[in-house]
């Protein structure tokens, strides 16, 4: 299987294993998570799934839900009441303890709010996302209030991070998140403690959120190139 096929395998497999009628669902962002939304949409359209109430973590996901007629709500709407039964999302890195780096698509803020508001959490990924240690290869995004760009940058450098302001593609200048902020992508040379860093980064004034997801351990659905779907709890 190529990577696209692995992404579809895992997105579809997770929905078939976990999603039931009547659930309050958090829907993630990215090229793997979109297969989750598509599968749910096709089951709703075929009348095989009903009563779904969804919260979308980005415009990308909102647009996909609109295509399929999946009912969307604010997390604060009475229909959701600030809580989800299940959130399914993609990831950029997954370590051996199912801790994650996320935010390659820049949607980390809503993705973390949804994940941490959910009774159950599942991640869909192809095998290329598995790593021994987080934060050494794929950059970890830190969402920052624009005015705090330089002070935050110097605090991150003090922690030993290499820092890059994320640049937009097909727009001049930096990426502006869906919440009007900037993204500083950080990478470390030596092994780090992701649990400690997830908390520590958010203590820097001006940091809104960071891409370490360590406080909720997901069930991970991994698509393999030989066409198998591994479920790691």
Of 10 and 70, CB closest to ligand 5RP: 10
29 binds ligand 5RP (CB under 6 A): yes
What is the closest distance, in whole angstroms, from the C-beta atom of residue 69 to ligand 5RP in the complex?
23
| Residue 103 in contact with ligand 5RP, rule: CB under 6 A | yes
Pairing of strands 84-89, 24-27: parallel
Q: Which of 1, 18, 23, 31 binds ligand 5RP (CB under 6 A)?
A: 31
Structure tokens that stand for 103 in this block: 């935010």
Decide if residue 218 touches ligand 5RP (CB under 6 A): no
Please tell me the distance from the alpha carbon of residue 132 to that of residue 170, in angstroms, as a whole number. 34
What is the distance between the alpha carbons of residues 12 and 38, in angstroms, rounded to a whole number? 8
Residue 89 binds to ligand 5RP (criterion: CB under 6 A): yes
Distance CA 31, CA 212 (A): 19
- Scanning 46-54, 66-74, 89-97, 157-165 for contacts with ligand 5RP by CB under 6 A, the matching segment is 89-97
Spatial separation of the C-alpha atoms in residues 183 and 140, rounded to whole Å: 10
8, 64, 93, 111: the active-site residue: 111
Choice between 90 and 135, CB closer to ligand 5RP:
90
93 binds ligand 5RP (CB under 6 A): no
- Number of residues written out for the chain: 233
Q: Which residues pair with 222 in a beta bridge?
A: 125, 230
Does 9 participate in binding ligand 5RP (rule CB under 6 A)? no
Instruction: Give the strand pairing for 219-223 and 118-126.
Output: parallel
180 — alpha (psi -120 to 50), left (phi > 0) or beta? left
Residue 135 binding ligand 5RP, by CB under 6 A: no
Q: Is residue 13 at the binding interface for ligand 5RP, with CB under 6 A as the rule?
A: no
CA torsion 216→217→219→220, rounded to 10°? 110
Cα–Cα distance measured from residue 200 to residue 168, given in angstroms and rounded to the nearest whole number: 27
DSSP 8-state code for residue 63: H
* Identified binder of ligand 5RP from the candidate list 13, 26, 41, 105, rule CB under 6 A: 105
Q: Identify the three-state secondary structure at position 112.
A: helix
Query: CA 16: distance to chain centroid?
Result: 20
Region from 14-22, 27-35, 142-150, 187-195 binding ligand 5RP, contact rule CB under 6 A: 27-35
- Pick from 41, 104, 139, 223: which binds ligand 5RP (CB under 6 A)? 104
Site string for ligand 5RP, 45-84 (x = CB under 6 A): ----------------------------------------
Where along the sequence are the contacts to ligand 5RP (CB under 6 A)?
28-33, 89-92, 102-108, 111
Task: Return the active site residues.
Answer: 111
């Amino acid at each position: 299987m190529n990577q696209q096929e692995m992404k579809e395998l895992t997105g579809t497999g997770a929905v078939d294993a976990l999603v039931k009628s009547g659930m309050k669902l958090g829907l993630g962002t990215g090229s793997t998570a979109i297969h989750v939304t598509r599968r749910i949409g096709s089951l709703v359209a075929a009348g095989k799934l009903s009563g779904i109430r969804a919260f979308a973590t980005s415009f990308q996901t909102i647009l996909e839900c609109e295509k399929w007629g999946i009912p969307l709500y604010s997390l604060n709407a009475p229909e959701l009441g600030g809580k989800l039964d299940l959130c399914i999302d993609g990831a950029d890195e997954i370590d051996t303890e199912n801790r994650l780096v996320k935010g390659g698509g820049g949607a980390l803020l809503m993705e973390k709010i949804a994940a941490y508001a959910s009774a159950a959490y599942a991640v869909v990924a192809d095998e290329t996302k598995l790593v021994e240690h987080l934060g050494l290869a794929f950059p970890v995004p830190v969402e920052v209030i624009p005015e705090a760009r330089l002070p935050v940058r110097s605090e991150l450098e003090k922690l030993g991070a290499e820092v890059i302001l994320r640049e937009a593609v097909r727009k001049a200048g930096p990426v502006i998140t869906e919440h009007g902020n900037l993204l500083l992508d950080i990478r470390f040379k030596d092994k780090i403690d992701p649990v400690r860093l997830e908390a520590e980064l958010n203590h820097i004034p001006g940091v809104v959120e960071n891409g370490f997801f360590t406080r909720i351990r997901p069930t991970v659905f991994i698509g393999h190139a030989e066409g198998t779907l591994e479920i790691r709890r």
